Chain A
């Protein structure tokens, strides 16, 4: 466990649990409108595109590309030691389906915009309070879904 930094964990709600707990089964999950197909992030009670409430949780491939990133050098959080890469990843399924995450599994200097990445989950268990954080690593296979 010592190879993982301390992380502030999200407060779980009915709406965000599919996202934060999907990693238990290796899945990156979002709410999706069952009428128009639009995926929501962050989650909400209504499809912002067609404004119907016919939503269900679905998994995505976990593949995407780095939309932008920054190499953080400032120690903001005790034990979360810089440098580390914060990135916004755009997922393959939908142009505006983006999330903030970390790029791991490579040297920070190797990260580029447009780089293919795939999800990898980091499991946290804080005295029974469990969360699976979706991080991303280089998709060395070149993005074959």
Chain B
């Protein structure tokens, strides 16, 4: 049997290449133009020609609203590069943003295609211009607009943003476990410290605890620095069959396991345990599918659309017990680049920009492939990182990947 046939499910797939466009605030470039840059870089990194790509997967697909949240779907990219596809999928009813990558891994593992281009493009910074945060949907704020689906249960009460929904989850965590703002601050401070070493990060100036505690509140207990920074940029990865690893001029990132479960109610306010959310289920599934354990992880790249979500991922993935996330990150030492668990080593979305999930996967590969330059993680004893965990999403949306460095 070939290596492909011997391997189970997701282990038949690798991340073979990564790419990222220019990233910035209000760069006013066409989102398809950004996407093409990321795509071509990823394809070349995978040692491929565009004609080798026979699959595309993206999140969330092409959407007009909220402005800047999408704008490029499968169709636009396929046509721009005139790709001949055996399989494709774009959409957002998935286990988080990385659900697109999960789809790609499944398609490759099932033998539907050989090389899938996965991408996520945002241009929220330009789309909102000098106005309010554009990722908040409220239908223009007047006239005959009526809220339906989930938003009918929140918009009439002014709970327009995930900041409100996540704020309530954080408040519940603070209440049940005694978590404090000073503890939560470490997610933002750690991100900023790492961003200082990432030339593509948006916010690189030092941030102090005083800065954090004195900045304005958005939705208690979340302040401005608990919220990620809208950005423009596109991130792409190529998912290939495992045999392709031998053709690469760099290590592959092998897909050791994926977590996609959602066992609680699929809702921001009806989920049974608001202090864990769907991340609990996705994380549990991840470890059920691997012999590795949290102690084996060298770098963790965990979604920080809001800082509190990262704390949830740390608990859900078992880096500390449920409720002990605050104590785990207190002081910041454990999650620093030279700490027990280097976290969000590029600066996360809080400081490097809201590339919406895919930035974490990109950074995991950067670290596994030794491309971090100044921010490259070196583990105790001078060892290179070999195992990375990536988690993206929050609330009822969450998915995670366990990646290992390998040929």
Contacts and interface: CB of A to CB of B under 8 A. Distances in A.
Interface in A116-136: 126, 129, 131, 133, 135
Interface in A95-145: 96, 98-102, 113, 126, 129, 131, 133, 135
A73 B158 CA distance: 11
Interface string B142-175: 1011111000111111111101100111111001
Contact of A70 (B145, B148, B220, B270): B220
B154 A100 contact: yes
B163 A74 contact: yes
B139 interface: yes
B168 A87 contact: yes
A4 to B, nearest CB: 12
A30 B49 CA distance: 58
A78 B216 CA distance: 19
A77 B161 CA distance: 10
B148 A11 contact: yes
B125 interface: no
A97 B216 CA distance: 33
A76 B157 contact: no
A10 B159 CA distance: 13
B218 interface: yes
Interface of A: 5-13, 16, 41-42, 67-78, 80, 84, 86-88, 96, 98-102, 113, 126, 129, 131, 133, 135
27 contacts: A5-B158, A7-B156, A8-B139, A8-B146, A9-B146, A9-B156, A10-B152, A11-B152, A13-B148, A41-B270, A42-B153, A67-B274, A70-B164, A70-B171, A70-B219, A70-B221, A71-B219, A72-B163, A74-B133, A75-B132, A78-B141, A86-B159, A86-B167, A86-B219, A88-B168, A100-B269, A101-B157
Interface of B: 132-133, 136, 138-139, 141-142, 144-148, 152-161, 163-164, 167-172, 175, 216-222, 269-270, 272, 274
